[in-house]
A and B are shown apart, each in its own frame.
Chain A
Amino acid sequence: MTGSVTRRIFIIQAVVLIALLLGHFIVWAAYPRAWAHYYQGAAFFKVMAPPLLMHLGWFALLVVLRTKGCRETLIVPVAALLVGLGTLFLLRLAGGSYLQYITETSPYWRDVFADRASVIYAAYGKQVIFFYVGLAALLGLLLVRWDLQALTRYKYLVGSGAVLLLLVTTLFGSETGGQQIALDLKFFTFQPHEPVKILIVIFMAAYLAEKRDLLVLAAARARFLSVMDLRYLGPMIALWLLVMAIVFKHKDLGAALLLFGIFLGMLYLGTGRKTYLALGLGMFLFGVFAAYTLVARVQTRVAIWLDPWQERYINDQGYQIAQSLMALGNGKLIGAGLAGGYPEIIPAVHTDMIYAAISEDMGLVGAVVILACFLLLIERIFVVGLRARDAFGGLLIAGLGVSLALQTLVIIGGVVKAIPLTGVTLPFISYGGTSLVINFIILGLVLKVAAHPAAPPAAT
């Protein structure tokens, strides 16, 4: 889908809107008592309005892209579908939890579901607000005149910014479940590792773009490693090691995995040297081994991953992943139907485990659709990266693509028990203000680069 914003894109966007409206209609029909409780009248309009209003934003974005002559636009409807599905499922999970709450007989579970219903319903409202914050940030990146190249000049500032953010979290962060990953800012809790992810990508892209020629030279001199490698890559590795150390201190395994993957991916993109890849993978294996032998928490995580059904885990730490798998099992091929399954049983279903909820209601078919959307999104981002005007733009966009892909793989892999479960959000879909806004910023950077692609080779 090259070409500028065509009628075709508007039609695709309209189809996405209709699909989401149908979904909201089903959810409205499924939980009348929940809506009567939450909305006190005019429930139908209050359920159906947010997708319409959110789509006003998406259509406005398409109009802006059209005036900019942006050639990469399929990204918009795909992202709109993912975000729309996310909010739709938040609403559905709020309704489902409320229904569980009013029909449950055991007092313990009544309390659990009463709590879950109010948390998820509040999350739904906030997510709609965060959507507009994110969209505003995206439009700001597109409309305000600024040169992306400016970022290269401040790369060390960007890098130190990442470290600083993490240090602030170490000092003032609130602790949940043994992890230190959130800053409580009264209005909402800020997840610093989300922006850190982008800052690291920007820093590495700028660094690698600048040192590109030297790195090529170093590679030409020595087939393996030489002192030159360390001299040129030294500062970058030092900063990255610092970041990793703090993340480990926070015991945030998901972010550690993500940052490691981003580092390796960008190193490969920037230098193309297999030696680094092999070395990185070796370090990864060593790191996993070291973490496994030294950190008790990692050992339990792995044990739960291997067999969550054990008696000592199933009602405790293995409960979440087991419930996730049961949701998949209930989903079967075509799903239990929207609002037909019971994913609200899964703890943290609206943040980390939302993929399990979608897989239960929409089945394997729905999971295929979600994954296809992510693949398409990542592919379009990579294509934008290839069309970028300069090395920095290319590395930046491809790096953001890698980060998005990794995050998707890490959380989905965790939900389906292919890898140990770590608490990261599913991009665009999971509830989480920081995550959603950051994903919009990624989108904004991608669309900004897409709006100013490299001139055709003949003109240079």
Chain B
Amino acid sequence: MDTHFRTRVGCLFHVVLVAVLALLGWQAYWHLHGSDWLLDQPTNRRLTRLEHRVPRGMILDRAGEKLAWSNGVTREYADGRATAALLGYLDQQYGREGLEMRWNGELSGLSRTFTGQDLRRMARNEAPRGNDLLLTLDLRLQRIAHDTLGERTGAIVVLDPATGGILGMATQPTYHAATLRADFPRLSADPRKPLRNRATQDFYPPGSTMKLVTAAAALMHGQGADTAQTCAGGVARRYGVNVRDFGGAAHGRLTMPKALEKSCNQYFAQLAAELPPADFAETAAAFGFGRRWWEERNYLPDPRMLPLRMAVSSLTPGPDMTTSQGERAHMGFGQSTVVATPLQMAMVAAAIANEGKLMAPYLVAAVRKGGTQRTLRSLRSGPIGFPLDRQRARELAAMMRGVVEHPGGTARGARVAGLTVYGKTGTAQQRGGADHAWFVGFAEREGRGSSPRRIAFAVLLERGGTGGGVAVPLAKRLLERWRDLE
């Protein structure tokens, strides 16, 4: 054959080669990039098939205690009411929500990694099963938080300051995951919105608990704990706005520890107003204000680690809103445009408890091979910010201790024998009803146990009354029961 024929054949082969590579590239798109989208298509029968064939993975608490498991096609719960807002639900009619939805791939076994165990299982003719999820949650603490909150509208958040792990998170009103199908129409019509998680989805003015942020900002930007201001009592006209203390009390000239103990609005109004606005915003941002930190991989390597619907806590509604000195004065004690979720305020306490290093809160700690102890993936969050250095965090913690311990402190009701409690109360005014009652802080216990040595917490009672009067006793009950855990 002539050489021309050789070149023509070579040319055709190259055309085939290029076409095959192009097809492969196109195919790779469906395999890799389009995979999750395709698996979630309603006409994809794989999901329903798997639910029939593959036992769905369990959800376990930090100690390996079962929170949710599957019995045939029905999902069963250790405490379906206490954990509903965290685990989400799974219903053939109403779909999936929360953790059950975000982690559906692992739980249903669709994105399981093939291991030697699978091969042995196949050889023994055993069915595959979905992977289990290990949470940071402590079922005991979760139940305590849920019981403590009772029927009151509000939320309780308990964090492990050292890791950021969510130990407990109660919200009211809530629902029961196991009876969701029957209750759903009623739940979605309920004006109190029981399907929302108040701890992360709803924000409230933080009131005096915001003074922790103001104090941190002042400490980190040139002010000392001995900075003195005068509280004249009554309604003080400052920076063009009115600042009034609780009951119109006059605290006289006082320094930061006393001002925090007494929760003096006029002191913190002056502190905030006189801080350069950028400094105040910087510290608030380090605490998490104004940031969608849960979307960033630096903090949560897998965004599904916190499978909750989140709202942004912020100082001002827009990112670049310029504020007047008067507005900043009100922000200094948590009024004006400042809003925060209960989780955000628990983070403020956690950052102080962890000596200034704020770890990103998360809920899912590990993926386990279904039904075994083998960890496939361990998940850890990173620090969101360093709002305080170690020394100033200790200084601020000492002030929070004073709020609980000193005579005349607003949170004296939170003293618990056997624990060292640090806290800050808040009574936040919002137009259109009673005040929101806040208590945020952290507690430390002696000795070793299955629970961390320190926990940070935030208690919020929506339209509940005063922080000292309503939220503090609840926190005391919570802490007492935590102390009694072995």
A residues adjacent to B (C-beta < 8 A): 26, 29-30, 32, 100, 103-105, 109, 265, 268-269, 272, 309, 314-315, 319, 322-323, 325-326, 328-334, 337, 339-342, 345, 359, 363-364, 367-368, 371, 374-375, 378-379, 382, 385-386, 388, 391, 394, 398, 402, 405, 409, 412-413, 416-418, 454
* CB-defined contacts of B35 to chain A, threshold 8 Å: 329-330, 332
* CB-defined contacts of B34 to chain A, threshold 8 Å: 325, 328-329
Q: Of residues 26 to 71 in B, which have CB atoms within 8 Å of A's CB atoms?
A: 26-28, 30-32, 34-39, 41, 43-46, 49, 52-53
**Closest approach, in angstroms, between the C-beta of B115 and any C-beta of chain A?**
11
B13 beta carbon closer than 8 Å to chain A: yes
Pairs A–B under 8 Å by Cβ, sample size 30: A32-B125, A104-B52, A268-B8, A272-B4, A272-B5, A314-B43, A322-B43, A323-B44, A328-B27, A328-B38, A329-B37, A329-B38, A329-B39, A332-B31, A333-B32, A339-B122, A364-B27, A364-B31, A364-B32, A371-B23, A375-B17, A382-B12, A388-B1, A391-B1, A391-B5, A394-B5, A398-B5, A409-B19, A412-B23, A416-B26
* CB-defined contacts of A100 to chain B, threshold 8 Å: 49
Contact (A402, B12) CB under 8 Å given A100-B49, A272-B4, A330-B110: yes
The reply to whether A418 and B26 contact each other, CB–CB distance below 8 Å, is yes
B128 beta carbon closer than 8 Å to chain A: yes
The reply to whether B23 and A409 contact each other, CB–CB distance below 8 Å, is yes
The reply to whether B38 and A359 contact each other, CB–CB distance below 8 Å, is no
- Given contact pairs A269-B9, A330-B110, a sample of 6 additional A-B residue pairs in the complex whose CB atoms are under 8 Å apart: A29-B123, A315-B43, A333-B31, A340-B114, A378-B13, A379-B13
**Closest approach, in angstroms, between the C-beta of B396 and any C-beta of chain A?**
49
The reply to whether B24 and A367 contact each other, CB–CB distance below 8 Å, is yes
In the assembled complex, the Cα of A385 lies from the Cα of B5 at a distance in Å of: 10
* CB-defined contacts of B26 to chain A, threshold 8 Å: 416-418
In the assembled complex, the Cα of A391 lies from the Cα of B35 at a distance in Å of: 49
**Closest approach, in angstroms, between the C-beta of B347 and any C-beta of chain A?**
36
The reply to whether B30 and A325 contact each other, CB–CB distance below 8 Å, is yes
Contact (A386, B1) CB under 8 Å given A330-B35, A368-B24, A371-B24: yes
Which residue of chain B lies nearest to A330 when distances are taken between CB atoms in the complex? B46
Q: Which of A32, A342, A374, A382 contacts B20 (CB 8 A)?
A: A374
B91 beta carbon closer than 8 Å to chain A: no
The reply to whether A359 and B1 contact each other, CB–CB distance below 8 Å, is no
Q: Which of B13, B46, B114 contacts A342 (CB 8 A)?
A: B46
In the assembled complex, the Cα of A368 lies from the Cα of B37 at a distance in Å of: 23
**Closest approach, in angstroms, between the C-beta of A315 and any C-beta of chain B?**
7
Which residue of chain B lies nearest to A394 when distances are taken between CB atoms in the complex? B1
The reply to whether A329 and B31 contact each other, CB–CB distance below 8 Å, is yes
The reply to whether B24 and A337 contact each other, CB–CB distance below 8 Å, is no
B16 beta carbon closer than 8 Å to chain A: yes
Which residue of chain B lies nearest to A416 when distances are taken between CB atoms in the complex? B27
B480 beta carbon closer than 8 Å to chain A: no
* CB-defined contacts of A388 to chain B, threshold 8 Å: 1
The reply to whether B9 and A382 contact each other, CB–CB distance below 8 Å, is yes
B residues adjacent to A (C-beta < 8 A): 1, 4-9, 12-13, 16-17, 19-20, 22-24, 26-28, 30-32, 34-39, 41, 43-46, 49, 52-53, 110-111, 114, 118, 122-123, 125, 128
The reply to whether B6 and A378 contact each other, CB–CB distance below 8 Å, is no
Contact (A378, B31) CB under 8 Å given A32-B125, A315-B43: no
* CB-defined contacts of A342 to chain B, threshold 8 Å: 45-46, 49
Which residue of chain A lies nearest to B46 when distances are taken between CB atoms in the complex? A342
Contact (A416, B123) CB under 8 Å given A105-B52, A333-B31, A382-B12: no
In the assembled complex, the Cα of A377 lies from the Cα of B32 at a distance in Å of: 27
In the assembled complex, the Cα of A402 lies from the Cα of B12 at a distance in Å of: 8
Of A105, A326, A359, A409, most B-chain CB atoms within 10 Å: A326
* CB-defined contacts of B19 to chain A, threshold 8 Å: 409
Q: Which of B12, B16, B22, B36 contacts A268 (CB 8 A)?
A: B12
* CB-defined contacts of A418 to chain B, threshold 8 Å: 22-23, 26-27
In the assembled complex, the Cα of A416 lies from the Cα of B36 at a distance in Å of: 16
In the assembled complex, the Cα of A265 lies from the Cα of B44 at a distance in Å of: 40
* CB-defined contacts of B31 to chain A, threshold 8 Å: 328-329, 331-333, 359, 363-364, 367
Which residue of chain B lies nearest to A345 when distances are taken between CB atoms in the complex? B45
**Closest approach, in angstroms, between the C-beta of B32 and any C-beta of chain A?**
6
* CB-defined contacts of B118 to chain A, threshold 8 Å: 337
In the assembled complex, the Cα of A253 lies from the Cα of B294 at a distance in Å of: 52
3 A-B pairs closest in CB distance: A329-B38, A328-B30, A364-B31
In the assembled complex, the Cα of A377 lies from the Cα of B238 at a distance in Å of: 87
**Closest approach, in angstroms, between the C-beta of B46 and any C-beta of chain A?**
5
**Closest approach, in angstroms, between the C-beta of B22 and any C-beta of chain A?**
8
The reply to whether A340 and B24 contact each other, CB–CB distance below 8 Å, is no
The reply to whether B5 and A386 contact each other, CB–CB distance below 8 Å, is yes
The reply to whether B32 and A26 contact each other, CB–CB distance below 8 Å, is no
The reply to whether B12 and A367 contact each other, CB–CB distance below 8 Å, is no
In the assembled complex, the Cα of A328 lies from the Cα of B49 at a distance in Å of: 17
**Closest approach, in angstroms, between the C-beta of A340 and any C-beta of chain B?**
7
In the assembled complex, the Cα of A388 lies from the Cα of B7 at a distance in Å of: 15
**Closest approach, in angstroms, between the C-beta of A144 and any C-beta of chain B?**
26
The reply to whether A405 and B1 contact each other, CB–CB distance below 8 Å, is no
Which residue of chain B lies nearest to A309 when distances are taken between CB atoms in the complex? B41
In the assembled complex, the Cα of A331 lies from the Cα of B1 at a distance in Å of: 45
The reply to whether A103 and B125 contact each other, CB–CB distance below 8 Å, is no
* CB-defined contacts of A412 to chain B, threshold 8 Å: 23, 27
Which residue of chain A lies nearest to B43 when distances are taken between CB atoms in the complex? A314
In the assembled complex, the Cα of A109 lies from the Cα of B52 at a distance in Å of: 14
**Closest approach, in angstroms, between the C-beta of A97 and any C-beta of chain B?**
12
The reply to whether B38 and A326 contact each other, CB–CB distance below 8 Å, is yes
* CB-defined contacts of B7 to chain A, threshold 8 Å: 272
* CB-defined contacts of A103 to chain B, threshold 8 Å: 52-53
In the assembled complex, the Cα of A417 lies from the Cα of B6 at a distance in Å of: 33
In the assembled complex, the Cα of A413 lies from the Cα of B5 at a distance in Å of: 28
The reply to whether A386 and B39 contact each other, CB–CB distance below 8 Å, is no
Q: Which of A265, A272, A334, A405 contacts B114 (CB 8 A)?
A: A334
In the assembled complex, the Cα of A105 lies from the Cα of B49 at a distance in Å of: 10
* CB-defined contacts of A382 to chain B, threshold 8 Å: 9, 12-13
* CB-defined contacts of B4 to chain A, threshold 8 Å: 272
The reply to whether A26 and B122 contact each other, CB–CB distance below 8 Å, is yes
**Closest approach, in angstroms, between the C-beta of B5 and any C-beta of chain A?**
6
In the assembled complex, the Cα of A345 lies from the Cα of B45 at a distance in Å of: 8
